Structures are given as C-alpha cells and as structure tokens.
Amino acid sequence: MLKQKDLILLKKDDKVSHFLVVKKCEVRVSKANKPYYFLTLGDKSFSMNANVWDDFEKYSRIIKNGDIIRIKGVIDEYQGVLQIKVSDIETDTSRYEVSYDDFMTKSLRNPDEMKAEFYDRIDKISDTWLKTLLLKIFSEDNFGRFALAPAGKSWHHAYLHGLLEHTLEIIKICDLLSDIHPVLNRDLLAAGAMLHDFGKTEELSYSTSFDYTDKGKLLGHIVIAAIKINEEISTIPEFPEELKNCLLHIVLSHQGKLEFASPVVPKTLEAITLYHADELSAKVNAYKNAVQAEAQSDNKWTKWLNLASTDLYIHGLAAISDGISGEVQTGNQKTQKTLFDKGE
C-alpha cells in the first residue's frame, strides 16, 4: 500500500518525493528555443505538470505514458499554476512495493449494488424487443468490461466503475422526467440511457492509466456503440425498423451538437431528454469533484476549469453525503434519500 501525501494537498515550496504515474509526455521547445521534456504526472488525487530540462533526451527515450516513476523536487508555481520543479527522477521502480492499483481511483459506490440496480432496471423494460437487445448486448463478458470502465479520461466519472455509475444516474434522471412527461417513451429512453456510452468500453483503456485506445481515437465511442447496436439488432428477427432508428438516433445524437462529435443533433423528445440528462450527470460530477478537490484547503474558489471556462465558488453550505447510501446529513439532521421518499 502506497503511503505518501496526496499530490493535491501539496502547496508551493513543499518538497516532493513521490511515486507518480506518467499521464502525458512529450518533447517541447521553450520560447527561448530550448528543448525540454514535458510531463503530466498524477496520483489518485490530482495531476500536475513537470518540465525536465537536464538530460531531457535520455528521459524522453526512457519515460513513456503509463510508467510509474519516482520524482524528487519541490512544488513551484508558474503563471498561477502549481507544477513540480524536478531535481531527480527514478525511472525503475520495480524494487518498490508500488502498483497501478495505488493510482487507480474507484467509484465510492459498491460495484455489486450497481450491477444489481442495472439488471433490475432491465427487468422493468416492458418492450420485449428492447429487453431482448439489452440482454444480448449486456452479456456477462460485455457487462464485466462495462462495469469496470471509467466514463471518461479526466473530466467526469473518471474512475473505475465510473461508466456504470454515470449510466445509472442518467437512467434515474430519465425515469424522473418520464414521470413528469408521460408522453416520453420510457422504455426507449431507458434503453438509450443504458446504451449511449457503451462504446467507451472499447474507446478507453484503463489497465494502467486512463487513455484512449487506437480504435477509440479512430472511431469514437458513439460510432463504436452504434455499430454494436446495429450488429445485435440484425440477429433479432423482425426487430421494428422505426424502433431501431429511434434508438440509434438517441445514441448518435447524445452529445447534442455536431461540434461535440455527434453526427446528428437530437431530433426526438427522447433524444433531447437523454442529451440533457447526460449533460446534467456529467457536469454535476465534474464540478463536484473540482469542489471536493479543495476540501483540505482553505480556498474559497476552485482552480480554473478549462472545460467549464470558469472557476467555482465553494460556499461551504453543501450537505454531507456518505456517497453510497444517498443519506444526506446537514448539521445534526439527516434527510431522506430524495425529495420523493416518504418519511418512516
């Protein structure tokens, strides 16, 4: 078990003597035309950049993405952003008791509980065509990969079992909206929620660190999922064409805009609903993680979030949740899991 101070807790001028995973590495050239080796290094809590100036050619040949290295140095600051000023690098860490498990973050939710929740929701699908399709796609092997995968490389639900957690959140949002708007086809919407990110099981690699596979870079998770769905539907005799097209449309349009890699924009009620449910789950998770990353500091604002184009204010009024049962505590009082639960 790795014992070292979390990277996110380090402040300017703090000493660094850490085992870290290489998340990005490339040779760059400074404004003064001096080459150096740029690294992004991380632990479970945070990622930080480091520039290697001395012997950069040697290290550029040795250090690759996914490597575990030991870094010594000090926390420095450049243009308001903390980085590691490197004094020494140990590239061979095989003699130490350190493994990739020490660096892989995991969902706080119990994976077995999430699996049971997922299959329970499939059981509630009343449309026999959709239920048959879902059971074929989420076979034991496929579901094993689906349940382990992160939902993203870094932005939201970027931890093991994150894809399953993200999917269950979207299903709950879609079910709530189906209650509010009965005109929605609940089964179609739920099936779309379950399948929309299935392609991430092949788009992302997550054995040593989170990154994109060659297939993921070439096709993307939307196309991968659409191909899989179409292949499985072709094995189900007389599967309704209209149902197939509407389901595929939900998957293909779920990122909402052409510039966000969706080949079409949402054009059905269910597709529009899923797009916004997906956005809500992803952004709340990403923003929540950014706020929680400052939990051990006295900061009132998060670091600047490039993908959000803002920083976030930490007001200190948030409820305390155990992250598993959904039970929320504010002060000394506990509330029900949701507004819709009846009191005992």
Domain ranges of the chain: 7-102, 111-252+280-287
End-to-end CA distance of the chain: 42
Q: Return the sign of the alpha-carbon dihedral for residues 77, 78, 80, 85.
A: negative
Helices (H), the chain: 56-62, 111-123, 128-137, 140-148, 162-180, 186-195, 200-203, 214-219, 221-233, 241-252, 269-292
Q: Write the pLDDT tens digit of every residue in 175-214.
A: 999 999 999 999 999 999 999 999 999 999 888 778 899 9
Element of type H or E holding 16: strand 15-29
Asked whether the whole model's pTM tops 0.75, one would answer yes
d(CA 124, CA 166): 19
Which two three-digit tokens encode residue 247? 């389901």
Return the SS3 of 21. Answer: strand
Cα separations in angstroms, 105 against 20, 88, 158: 13, 26, 8
**pLDDT value of position 101:** 82
Which two three-digit tokens encode residue 320? 């305390």
d(CA 222, CA 202): 11
| Nearest to 16, CA basis, from 48, 44, 57, 53 | 48
Contact 242, 212 (CB under 8 A): no
* Contacts with 45 (C-beta within 8 Å, 6 or more apart), sequence order: 6, 7, 8, 9, 293
CA 1 centroid distance within chain: 24
Low-confidence ranges of the chain (pLDDT < 70): 1, 295-297, 318-344
CA angle 118, 197, 264 (to 5 degrees): 135
Region 7-102: CATH code: 2.40.50.140
**pLDDT value of position 336:** 47
